[in-house]
Amino acid sequence: MAEDELEIDIDDLKRRMEGAMNALKHEFLSLRTGRAAATMLDPVMVDAYGAHTPVNQVGTVNVPEPRMLTVNVWDKALVSKVEKAIRESGLGINPVVDGTIIRLPIPELNEERRRELTRVAAQYAEHARVAVRNVRRDGMDQLKRAKASGMSEDDHKIWSEEIQELTDKFVAHVDEALEAKQAEIMQV
């Protein structure tokens, strides 16, 4: 069998692990930390024009102050729907309507809510670790098939160590991101 057919696609494994990290970072952005961030509204969907539409596609989301978000809704008919979607989103934000602008004052987080958010962040991190380990398992399965096709024992060992190193590196990145997010959440 040709030598290059036995090789494992490390770049593909790395790309998939980076995808898990990017998903984790996106999930972390949706967690409220007491500071306003336009990404907080990313999960909020508005029933607009017969379809569920993200808030940022029916209006402009701005951060005029560290503890305030504004949504400038483009269509006056959608203002009440946007307000209702934000109110029911579970973000704990009470929208104030001013014409086509919806102001969202970000309340201070209490200690209990901060601890709850750190647990949510830990769950997100665990999902990312599982995703990275699943990619590792796929890589190891490729290795098993390659070994059955004639890969040498030495090559098998080298590739498995490389896959394990990559996995350890990405799990460490997940842990670092979690520590940083938890510190940000607990910061008063």
- pLDDT value at 2 more than 70: no
Q: Render pLDDT for 73-105 as a digit per residue (tens, 0 to 9).
A: 999 999 999 999 988 877 778 899 999 899 998
Domain ranges of the chain: 3-29+110-186, 38-105
What length does the chain have? 188
Q: What is the predicted pLDDT for the residue at 6? A: 52
d(CA 52, CA 49): 8
CATH top class, domain 38-105: alpha beta
Q: What is the CATH number of domain 3-29+110-186?
A: 1.10.132.20
Q: Which amino acid appears at position 128 of this protein?
A: A
- Whole-model pTM: value is 0.70
Q: Render pLDDT for 140-176 as a digit per residue (tens, 0 to 9).
A: 999 999 889 888 999 999 999 999 999 999 999 999 9
Question: What's the token pair of residue 122?
Answer: 């830990």
Q: What is the predicted pLDDT for the residue at 3? A: 44
- pLDDT value at 18 more than 60: yes
Helices (H) and strands (E) in the chain, counts: 5, 6
Radius of gyration of the chain (CA): 23
19 DSSP 8-state letter: H
Q: Kind of pairing, strands 59-65 and 68-73?
A: antiparallel
Using the structure block, give the residue that is written with the tokens 């972390």. 28
